[in-house]
Amino acid sequence: MQKFLHIPVLVNEAIEGLAIKQDGIYVDATCGGGGHSKKILERLSDRGKLICFDQDEEAIQVCQQRLKNFKNVVFVNSNFKDIKKELARLGIMKVDGILADLGVSSYQLDNAERGFSFLHDGPLDMRMDSKNEKTAFDVINFYSADELKRILWAYGEEQNAVKIVAEIIKARKVKPIQTTLELKEIVESAFPKKVIYGKGGVSKKTFQAVRIEVNDELEVLRTALNDFVQLLNTQGRAVIITFHSLEDRIVKTLFKEKSSNCICPPKTPVCICGHKAEGKVVNKKPIMPTDDEVKANERSRSAKMRIFEKF
């Protein structure tokens, strides 16, 4: 196994946001390399407990090794969309805090075999859970032109989607598109050279869109956020770190809904929804990394953290 390197972002801010109780029960829904998990465990007494989730089996193995000196941690190799079921299996119905860092780990990006990055040549995979059947190869080679344009617009916010998809369709008629660098070259062929050399990274939005489609990330997030709120004890907190606007918009919208006593359409004269707030948004504006953190870890630049506290 390649060495699992990942620098966790907003660590101190996340730990402060969780407002950890020494004897509480906490969930790290995306434990990755264990950076956030270790900091949570250091705040817990022997009576406290941390449950570490990750759908990536390699991440779980690394986390188990790095946290082997802690006795009050349980590891679950599962997507956090199954958090309620998996916690119930452990006899846990409520928790005091949930942390989810939604970013792709540095290990996943830098490991060419995982196929997440356009900077390394590898198979078109992009699965966060290697047990899943759908891969990026399937999306790129078998989705229709309309389906590809849909995901590039919706998940990549890619304004050049039509031209990119036309180049993908043309290339795959000759032979299947097999690797990340093949896809990168095809995407770049849809842009003028001065744009490619002037901006760089013109493939980023396409790779993001395909990755989100492969892992069904946005629908998983919507489902999981509702479950997170339901699972929290009174004064329990959900701390969510996002890395692109689509995720952040979902978190912001749901937290606003969960903290509102009315979700009727605007200009409705009298409330008819009967909705009751379940908690409050702790930070009205997202918490972002400091300049020093961005200098130390460029991949933290786009991180945004939002916190919700249950009534």
CATH number reported for the structural domain that contains residue 206 in this entry: 1.10.150.170
pLDDT at 302: 94
Q: Is residue 77 part of a domain?
A: yes
Statement to judge: residues 171 and 241 lie in one domain:
no
Q: Is residue 109 part of a domain?
A: no
pLDDT at 107: 66
Query: Of the residues 169, 190, 215, which one is the last residue of a structural domain?
Result: 215
Q: What is the CATH number of the domain that holds 38?
A: 3.40.50.150
Of residues 34, 210, 38, the one with CA closest to residue 136 = 210
Q: Is residue 6 part of a domain?
A: no
pLDDT at 309: 98
Q: What is the mean pLDDT of each run of 10 residues along the chain (311 residues)?
A: 68 98 98 95 98 94 95 97 98 98 75 84 93 96 98 96 98 97 96 76 94 95 97 98 96 96 89 93 96 93 97 96
Query: Of the residues 170, 198, 215, which one is the last residue of a structural domain?
Result: 215
pLDDT at 6: 64
Statement to judge: residues 83 and 230 lie in one domain:
yes
Statement to judge: residues 21 and 94 lie in one domain:
yes
The count of domains in the chain is 2
Statement to judge: residues 144 and 86 lie in one domain:
no
pLDDT at 1: 45
Query: Of the residues 188, 215, 242, which one is the last residue of a structural domain?
Result: 215
Q: Is residue 137 part of a domain?
A: yes
Statement to judge: residues 232 and 150 lie in one domain:
no
Statement to judge: residues 169 and 296 lie in one domain:
no
Show the domain range for 152.
132-215
